[in-house]
Copies of this chain bind each other. A is one copy, B any other.
Amino acid sequence: MNKEKITSLKNQFAEELFNRVIPFWEKYSPDPENGGYFNCLDIDGNVYDNRKNIWLQGRQAWMFSKLYNEVEQKQEWLNLARSGIEFLREHAIREDGRVYFALTKDGKPLWMQRKIFSECFYIMALAEFSRASGKTKYMQEAKEEFELVWDWSFDLSKVGQPVYEGAPAMSSLAIPMILLNLIEEVAGEQWADFSEQVEDCIKRMLLHVHEDREIVFESVAKDGSFLNTIDGRLLNPGHAIEAGWFLQHWARRLGDQKLSETAIEMVRWSFKKGWDTEYRGIFYFLDSEGFSPTQLEWDMKLWWPHNEAMYAHLLNYSITGNEQDWQDFEMVTDYSFNHFSDPEHGEWFGYLNRRGEVTHRFKGGPYKGCFHVPRSLFLCWKLLCELEKRG
C-alpha cells in the first residue's frame, strides 16, 4: 500500500472514533444521579429504557479506561470509567461473586444469567481501570473474580445451568475465547504466570477449527468432532473472525508461527463463508451443511461482525503483506462506513437487513453499547499508525 492511502485511512478512523463515536457516549450515556451508564439510547441519544445491562456497563468502563491508558490521559475519560466501576462494584456483584446481567438504573437486580459473561466483562473493566487509576486493589479483585470464573467456566452447573441426560456434552467456542481474552487483560506483561491456562484455552479453541473443511464451528463435541444437529452445524462468521484475532494476539506473544498461520486462515475462511456475495455484508449465522439456520435473524447484517472483520483483516495484512488481506480489509471497511456509520448523530447503527437497510434506529440496546465500534476503530487506528511508521 502506498503511504498516502494508509495515512488517509488512519485519519478516517481517528475522525470516526474521536469525533463521532466517543462523543456520543460521553454526551448521552452518563447517569449523573446513580453513576454508571444508560445503554438503551435511541438514534439521537434519547434514553428509551433506563435498565443497565452489565455486559455493556463493564465494556464501557473498559473502553474509557483503555482510551485513557493508550490514547490520552484525559480526566473526563478517567471519571467516566470510574463512574462505571463504582456502579459495578456497588451493585452488580453478589456476595458469592456472581454478577447480574441487568440492573435498574439505581442498581437493583433485574436479571441474572446462568452464564459467565457478565462476570467476564466485570473483570475486564476492573483490570483496565486498575491500570488507569493506578489502584492495585482493583487488579486484585479482578484476579480473584477470574479465579472464580475459571472454576465455573467448564462446568456451568456451578452457575445454575441444569444438565440434562439427553443433551450431548458440547464445547462452546465462546468460553475459552473470552477466557483467553481475559487473561490478556488481567495478566498484562505477567502473562507467563498464566501459561497453563493460556495453553488450555488455545487447545480448546482449536477443537473448533476444522482445517479439512476450512470451517470454525461454534459448538463441537468434547473431542472436537462435528455434531450433526442445529447447534453443531451453527456458524457465526463474525465470532469466528474475532476468535481468529484473539488467537493471533497470543500467537505473536508466544512466538508461535503455526498458531499465527491458523489464526490468519480462520479469519480468511470465515470471512469468505460469511460474506453475502449477493447483497454484501457478513451474514450473522449460517448452517455448515446449507440448511436454514433456525435463528430468525440469520441473514441480518450486524455491526459487530463487521467491526471484528475490519481489525482482523488489517491485522492479517500487517503480518502477511498479502494483497487479498488488504482488499478484504478495504471491502469490509467500505461496507461498514457506508452502512452503519451515522455522521449526523454519531455512533453506528447496529442492525441492517440482508439488503443493508437500517432496521433498528437505536444506537444502544440490551446487547449493543460502547464497545465493538470504538474497540475496532481504536485497534485499526493504532495498527494504521504502526503501518504508517513502518512505511
Residues of A within 8 A of B (CB): 40, 42, 48-49, 51, 100, 103-104, 107-112, 162, 164-167, 229-230, 291-294, 296-300, 351, 353-354, 359-362, 365-366
Contact = CB atoms under 8 A, between A and B. Distances in A.
Given A49-B230, A51-B230, A299-B359, A162 B292 contact: no
Contacts of A49: 229-230
A109 B166 contact: yes
Contact of A362 (B229, B292, B361): B292
Given A42-B291, A110-B164, 11 more contacts: A40-B294, A100-B164, A111-B167, A294-B360, A296-B296, A296-B297, A296-B360, A297-B297, A298-B359, A299-B353, A299-B359
Contacts of A104: 166
Identical chains bound together, number: 2
A230 B40 contact: yes
A296 B299 CA distance: 11
Q: Is chain A's interface secondary structure helix, strand, loop, or mixed overall?
A: loop
Contacts of A366: 230, 294
A66 B112 CA distance: 41
Nearest to A299: B359
Contacts of A291: 42, 48, 361-362
A293 B360 CA distance: 7
B109 A361 contact: no
Nearest to A354: B353
B292 A110 contact: no
B299 A164 contact: no
A293 B49 CA distance: 11
